[in-house]
Amino acid sequence: MRFDEYPYGSVAFVYDWIAAVYSRGRIGLSKRVQLDEIEADDRVLYAGVGRGEDAVLAARFGARVTAIDLAPAMIRRLSRRLEREGLDVELLCGDVSSHKPERPYDVVVANYFLNLFDVERAREMLRHLRGLVKPGGTLMLADFALPRGGLMARALTELYYRPVNWVAWAFGLCALHPILDHARLIEPLGFRIRSQRRLPVLLGDHPAYVSIVADRVI
């Protein structure tokens, strides 16, 4: 299934605001912490970049950033922002599945991107993203975290996640699916998870977001 430019284009203007309110700022934080893992001068690809707050931060820091998104409205917004700041980023409007650069990247970032897809399509997308990471390079992704522990953890996570998955599905923004088990998807593809930072939304441990850093070892 392809989540076309139109649904995301039509939410481009409010996307970051909704994400900030719904996650109490954790979505933004889950992306900002990734900057610790990027070296100035790294070649970094942002897949499904959206409005690209994370890509802007990396570019300001000195990384050589490429950002790709299907939605022209997202790319237009990001382009205006980069222009205002005088930042040099390679912006591509298109499907990341067809992106075939001359050489792979030091870092590939897929924030809140795999959750558009059901598990099979997410695996397929990850396989493609793996080919975009150089051997020894890094994959980073931030997304909804799986619950840890018993019934209460699962119930709180479901209550938080399912309604938003239904609504986004109804608007053609994503597939209907449970929260993805990212570790399970990533590791068989030859990545070793270096860190998983959990960012709870409320006081307890659930619901939460996770920011994962994984190295391509094979």
Q: How far apart are the first and last CA of the chain?
A: 28
The Cα–Cα gap between 205 and 3 comes to 31
Residue of 96, 108, 146, 180 interacting with ligand SAM (CB under 6 A): 96
- Please give the backbone phi and psi of residue 30, each rounded to the nearest 5 degrees, phi first: -60, -25
Binding flag, residue 145, ligand SAM (CB under 6 A): no
Binding flag, residue 209, ligand SAM (CB under 6 A): no
Stretch that binds ligand SAM, among 32-40, 92-100, 131-139, 178-186 (CB under 6 A): 92-100
Binding flag, residue 137, ligand SAM (CB under 6 A): no
Among residues 3, 53, 31, 49, the alpha carbon closest in space to that of 172 is found at 3
Site size with ligand SAM, rule: CB under 6 A: 17
Whether the Cβ atoms of residue 214 and residue 138 lie closer than 8 Å to each other: yes
Binding flag, residue 45, ligand SAM (CB under 6 A): no
Binding flag, residue 160, ligand SAM (CB under 6 A): no
Binding flag, residue 118, ligand SAM (CB under 6 A): no
Stretch that binds ligand SAM, among 56-64, 70-78, 80-88, 133-141 (CB under 6 A): 70-78
Choose between 71 and 108: whose C-beta lies nearer to ligand SAM.
Answer: 71
Minimum separation from the CB atom of position 54 to ligand SAM (A): 6
The Cα–Cα gap between 35 and 125 comes to 23
Binding flag, residue 79, ligand SAM (CB under 6 A): no
Minimum separation from the CB atom of position 117 to ligand SAM (A): 8
Binding flag, residue 75, ligand SAM (CB under 6 A): no
163-190 residues labelled b (16+ CB within 10 A) or e (exposed): eebeebeeeebbbebebbebeebbeebe
Binding flag, residue 50, ligand SAM (CB under 6 A): yes
Residues engaged in binding ligand SAM (CB under 6 A)? 3, 8, 48-50, 68-71, 74, 95-97, 111-113, 116
